[in-house]
């Protein structure tokens, strides 16, 4: 350790110029060491001025250190096209042609959707933008190199976790789930699984449900719902249970005996709706102001809500006429026909003679014809007579082939065991909408997989 007394003594004793220079060096070293740390010995292994600087981690996005770019965010507007956007941002036409040609295998310029976001990235040293990023969903993004006329599609890795959830209804099913932090996706998945058995437009106070499903997340953020593996719904004395089974030929939801949940027709042609008027032979018509038979069921829903075919069939009519407004009529077989009135518009491709599948969108809710507000009047024919479809009982479907039952039972037992790990919650007396009870619990086996959509 160098001290002040040793340095002074050395200078007094030695008059040689070279030695004087060495002495001055020792003095400088003394003061430098003390400036580094006046209270402790300088230990290079313990104290490092370089190591004391805070390292700032770059903000990474789309594979770039995004802080090194000038970023301009925009949203696609009506009648704003891909090539037009590039031209407005000084991208040369040959480059635009190159991008469209080089990315046509995975990017269709017609899928440039209104309302979606895009970003231009420009290096400070560049005169024009270097990259364009288009993000149609949280699951993937497109990156276009505006200098080289190339592009890539990048899918984000999705983490899927198996979850269980249970709840009890005190208001509506949808409000119960959303108030508790579960998405419409979860509610929609349950409706898809049980729609042939349960009329979810009339969920009863005290109804209970349990679910076993996949939750999808990207970088720790929940982005959606994957497969619903099993569901159980209890209303009154009845309990309906279903599991998803894929036999490769007829994948779908089955009851615990291996019979398809699909009993021929959906309970309703629209989702997230309510019945505003029932089948009634002596209803007072709200527009005509007189008693007139209402031989259908009205489902009120927001304008533009998709309308689904309740079963496979052939379109007999897709036209506009009188009080019916825009309507579609479908022949399902020799016995049954259905009709959907007051549509805002028809779905693409829907016309007379077209075959449609169960659950296919055939039009959108509107108020054309004699209607006071947006809804679909759903009419059901059996043997040429209009009937109340909510009172119909359809024959049970055929079960899975005997050769499939052993494999089905293995899947069924695994999924039902997961549902049984969760108890049905009880309705608290005097509960309000804000007190709807629901539980969302991670599956005990913590199964998780990584996948891309």
- Is 14 among the domain residues? yes
Identify any residues that bridge with 376 across adjacent strands, giving them in sequence order.
Answer: 299
Instruction: Tell me: pLDDT of 397 over 80.
Output: no
- Using pLDDT thresholds of 50, 70 and 90, give the confidence band for residue 174: confident
Structure-token pair, residue 166: 């249970």
Same domain? 145 vs 163: no
Residue 172 has pLDDT above 60, yes or no: yes
304 plus 212 within the same structural domain? no
* Domain identity same for 166 and 253: yes
Phi then psi for residue 297, to 5 deg, are -125, 125
- Give me the residue label for tokens 């693409």: 348
On whether both 138 and 101 belong to a single domain, the answer is: yes
Select from 360, 391, 422 the last residue of a domain: 391
- Give the separation between CA 284 and CA 271, rounded to whole angstroms: 26
Question: Do 99 and 177 belong together in one domain?
Answer: no
**Of 106, 132, 155, which residue is a domain's last?**
155
Q: Is residue 46 in a domain? A: no
- 21 Cβ neighbours under 8 A, 6+ residues apart: none
Q: Give the list of residues 6+ apart from residue 296 with CB closer than 8 angstroms, or none.
A: 279, 339, 341, 377, 378, 379, 380, 386
Residue 54 lies in a domain: no
Q: Which domain holds residue 89?
A: 64-155
Q: How far apart are CA 133 and CA 89, in angstroms?
A: 13
pLDDT in the model for residue 193: 92
In this predicted structure, the answer to whether residue 29 has a pLDDT above a threshold of 60 is no
**Together in a domain, 283 and 387:** yes
134/216 same-domain check: no
CB 128, CB 87: distance < 8 Å: no
Q: 348 in a domain, yes or no?
A: yes
In a domain, 203, yes or no: yes
Q: Same domain for 387 and 404?
A: no
Q: In the prediction, which pLDDT does 294 show?
A: 79
Cα dihedral 108, 354, 260, 419, rounded to 10, equals 40
pLDDT at residue 266, as a whole number: 86
| Helix locations, 329-437, DSSP H | 405-420
Mean pLDDT of 66-85: 92
Helix, coil or strand: residue 321? strand
What local confidence, expressed as pLDDT, does residue 37 receive?
44
Distance CA 387, CA 92 (A): 64
The predicted pLDDT at position 433 comes to: 43
Query: Other C-beta atoms within 10 Å of 428: how many?
Result: 12
Res 41: pLDDT: 40
Residue 111 lies in a domain: yes
How many CA atoms, within 13 angstroms, populate the side-chain half-sphere of residue 376?
A: 33
Distance CA 49, CA 163 (A): 49
Question: What are 255-286's pLDDT values in tens digits?
Answer: 999 989 887 888 889 987 788 788 776 555 55
pLDDT at site 292: 64
The count of residues in the chain is: 453
Q: What is the pLDDT of residue 141?
A: 95
Which of the four pLDDT bands, split at 50, 70 and 90, describes residue 40? very low
Q: How far apart are the first and last CA of the chain?
A: 66
Q: Check residue 173 and give its pLDDT.
A: 76
| pLDDT for 212 beyond 60 | yes
Q: What is the pLDDT of residue 437?
A: 45
Tell me: pLDDT of 304 over 90.
yes
The confidence score (pLDDT) of residue 329 equals 97
pLDDT at 44 over 50: no
Strand partners, 155: 140
Could you write out the DSSP letters of every residue in 230-277? EEEEEETTEEEEEEEE--SSS-EEE-TTS-BS--SS-S-SSSS-EEEE
Query: What are the beta bridge partners of residue 339?
Result: 329, 379
Which has more pLDDT, 107 or 236?
Answer: 107
Last residue of a domain, one of 155, 175, 205: 155
pLDDT of residue 20: 56
Least confident of 22-26, 152-156, 177-181, 415-419: 22-26
Residues 164 and 148 in one domain: no
**Shared-domain flag, residues 127 and 182:** no
Mean pLDDT of 331-356: 93
Please provide the average confidence, as pLDDT, over all residues in the chain: 81
CATH number of the domain within which 172 lies: 3.10.450.350
Q: Are residues 285 and 382 in the same domain?
A: yes
Res. 439: pLDDT tops 90: no
Cα separations in angstroms, 201 against 150, 191, 263, 270: 50, 10, 18, 10
Q: CA-to-CA distance for 129 and 120, rounded, in angstroms?
A: 6
pLDDT value at 46 more than 80: no
| In a shared domain, residues 380 and 351 | yes
Number of domains in the chain: 4
Taking CA atoms, 332 is separated from 36, 339, 369, 383, 395, in Å, by 89, 11, 25, 11, 16
**Looking at residue 443, what is its pLDDT?**
41
More confident residue, 14 or 251: 251
Q: Is residue 51 part of a domain?
A: no
- pLDDT for res 36: 42
């Amino acid at each position: 350790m160098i001290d002040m007394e040793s340095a002074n003594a050395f200078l007094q004793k030695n008059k040689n110029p070279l030695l004087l220079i060495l002495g001055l060096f020792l003095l400088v070293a003394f003061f430098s060491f003390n400036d580094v740390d006046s209270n402790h010995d300088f230990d290079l292994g313990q104290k490092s001025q370089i190591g004391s600087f805070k390292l700032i981690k770059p903000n990474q996005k789309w594979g770039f250190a995004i802080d090194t770019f000038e970023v301009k965010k925009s949203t696609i507007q009506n009648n704003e096209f891909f090539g037009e956007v590039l031209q407005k941002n000084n991208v040369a036409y040959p480059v635009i042609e190159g991008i469209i040609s080089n990315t046509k295998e995975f990017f269709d310029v017609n899928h440039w959707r209104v309302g979606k976001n895009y970003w231009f990235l420009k290096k400070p040293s560049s005169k024009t933008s270097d990259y364009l990023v288009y993000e149609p969903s949280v699951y993937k993004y497109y990156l276009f190199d505006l200098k080289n006329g190339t592009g890539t599609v990048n899918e984000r890795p999705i983490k899927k976790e198996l979850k269980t959830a249970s709840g009890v209804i005190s208001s509506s099913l949808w409000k119960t789930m959303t108030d508790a932090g579960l998405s419409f996706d979860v509610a929609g998945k349950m409706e898809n699984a049980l729609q042939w058995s349960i009329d979810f437009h009339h969920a009863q106070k005290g109804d209970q449900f349990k679910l076993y499903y996949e939750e999808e997340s990207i970088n720790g953020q929940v982005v959606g719902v994957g497969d619903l593996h099993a569901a159980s719904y209890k209303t009154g004395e009845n309990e309906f249970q279903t599991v998803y089974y894929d036999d490769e030929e007829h994948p779908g939801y089955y009851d615990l005996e291996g019979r398809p949940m699909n009993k021929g027709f959906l309970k309703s042609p629209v989702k997230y709706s309510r019945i505003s008027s029932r089948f009634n032979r002596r209803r007072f018509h709200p527009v005509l102001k007189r008693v007139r038979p209402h031989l259908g069921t009205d489902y009120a829903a927001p304008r533009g809500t998709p309308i689904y075919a309740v079963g496979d069939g052939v379109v007999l009519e897709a036209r506009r006429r009188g009080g019916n407004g825009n309507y579609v009529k479908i022949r399902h077989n020799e016995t049954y026909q259905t009709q959907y009135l007051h549509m805002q518009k028809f779905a693409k491709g829907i016309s007379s003679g077209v075959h449609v599948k169960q659950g296919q969108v055939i039009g959108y809710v509107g108020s054309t014809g004699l209607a006071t507000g947006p809804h679909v009047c759903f009419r059901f024919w059996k043997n040429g007579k209009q009937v109340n479809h909510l009172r119909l009982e359809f024959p049970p479907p055929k079960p899975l082939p005997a050769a499939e039952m052993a494999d089905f039972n293995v899947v069924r037992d695994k999924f039902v065991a997961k549902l049984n790990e969760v108890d049905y919650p009880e309705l608290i007396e005097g509960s309000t909408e804000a007190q709807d009870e629901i539980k969302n619990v991670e599956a005990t086996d913590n199964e998780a997989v990584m996948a891309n959509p």
